Amino acid sequence: MLVDDQIVVQNIVKNSGTSFFWGMKILNPQKKRAMFSVYAFCRIVDDIADDIKNINIKKTQLKEWKKKIEDIYQNKQVTSSIEKELKHSIKAYNLNKLDFFSIIDGMMMDAEKDIKFPTKKELNLYCDRVAVAVGYLSIKIFGLSNKEKKYAFYLGRAFQLTNIVRDFHEDLNRGRCYISTDYLAKYGIKKNLMTISNEPKLQNIFQDILSEAQEYYEKSSRESNKINKKKIIASEIMKSFYKALHSKMFNTTINIKKKIKLNSFEKIHILCLFFLRY
């Protein structure tokens, strides 16, 4: 029977509606508990960056979370369910403090100023902080070593680039746009949030981003062939869900006002195909 702290954290993950839930759900109880704590942490700091309007409050709360993480590593007493569960996971799987800090720093990039048309270098840094760092924490829980970090790196980049296209309209409504200046220059488009959605070449940019994501998916697949499949079953399920989202957008005209999602039937179908292969 789950204790109260675990139930609180599991509900954060479940209520987020993430497809990642199904990948985490199949793990053994200890690994599942750890992954739920990491994802719940990500959900909380992401909500701070996205949902709180006041910039100073955002920055303050993110800095507070950095202190909370530091306190956990200093073995200080913690009180909230998420902190208790993170403390358990960090100790059980020797998770790297810098990866947690990296995730917070990524959210801080959103909090300090809404990201608008970053350089390619800035975008890569953002992807590595908010997505790749999560992958690095995950592979430690899965039982992989630093030799398998390329797998997490490629997968994190692929997931985040897929998100950038899928969430374009939602991000635009928040005053953000993660399309890099490289793509704007390629198609002669001005840096203007008000007009970007009406640009005829926007669909070309989407496909360029999705092509880049596809390259990362392929690289992650090549790396996965070098790894014990039993150790990465959860992340491979997550990849299957994300590749399905990617496929719905790749090489087609995207309706930016309609967020691409997977329905229940599609999720079940993906899971069935996955377990038939494995």
Using one digit for the tens of pLDDT, what is the confidence trace for 7-56?
999 888 888 777 677 778 788 999 999 999 999 999 999 999 999 989 99
Q: What is the pLDDT of residues 104-124, one digit of tens each?
A: 999 999 998 889 999 999 999
| Full residue range of the structural domain in which residue 223 is found | 115-278
First-residue to last-residue Cα distance in the chain: 29
Out of 95, 113, 131, pick the residue that ends a domain. Answer: 113
| Residue-wise burial string across 59-68, b where 16 or more C-beta atoms lie within 10 A, e elsewhere | bebbeebbeb
Residues 76 and 185 in one domain: no
Higher pLDDT, 233 or 205: 205
Residues 179 and 247 in one domain: yes
Count of domains forming the chain: 2
Q: What's residue 114's pLDDT?
A: 84
Mean pLDDT of the chain: 92
Q: What's residue 60's pLDDT?
A: 96
CA atoms within 13 A on the CB side of 160: 23
Residues 86 and 160 in one domain: no
Among 13-22, 172-181, 260-269, the least confident range = 13-22
Q: How sure is the predictor about 266, in pLDDT bands with cuts at 50, 70 and 90?
A: confident
3-state secondary structure (DSSP) of residue 116: strand
Q: How sure is the predictor about 190, in pLDDT bands with cuts at 50, 70 and 90?
A: very high
Q: How sure is the predictor about 1, in pLDDT bands with cuts at 50, 70 and 90?
A: very low
Q: What percent of the chain has pLDDT over 90?
A: 78
Residues 160 and 179 in one domain: yes
Q: Give the tokens for residue 173.
A: 């409504």
Q: Which residue has the tokens 């490289």?
A: 182
Out of 113, 145, 175, pick the residue that ends a domain. Answer: 113
Distances (CA, A) of 179 to 25, 36, 123: 33, 30, 8
Distances (CA, A) of 269 to 15, 27, 34, 240, 266: 22, 19, 27, 11, 5
In terms of Cα–Cα distance, which of 134, 105, 138 is closest to 122? 105
Instruction: Find the mean pLDDT for residues 58-67.
Output: 96
Residues 3 and 55 in one domain: yes
Residues 2 and 25 in one domain: yes
Helices assigned H by DSSP within the chain: 4-15, 20-25, 29-51, 55-73, 81-93, 97-112, 120-127, 133-142, 149-166, 168-173, 181-187, 202-224, 233-249, 264-277
Q: What's residue 19's pLDDT?
A: 67
Out of 92, 113, 134, pick the residue that ends a domain. Answer: 113
Q: Give the tokens for residue 93.
A: 């799987």
Residues 167 and 271 in one domain: yes
**Distance from CA of residue 178 to its chain's centroid?**
14
Q: Give the tokens for residue 195.
A: 């007009």
CA dihedral (13, 161, 206, 236) positive or negative: negative
CATH of the domain at 267: 1.10.600.10
Task: Find out whether 187 and 206 touch, Cβ atoms under 8 Å.
Answer: no
CA distance 216 to 219: 5
> Cα angle at 227 between 226 and 229, to 5 degrees?
125
Q: In one letter, which amino acid is 152?
A: A
> Angle between the 233-249 and 149-166 helix axes, to the nearest 10 degrees?
30
Task: Find out whether 164 and 209 touch, Cβ atoms under 8 Å.
Answer: yes
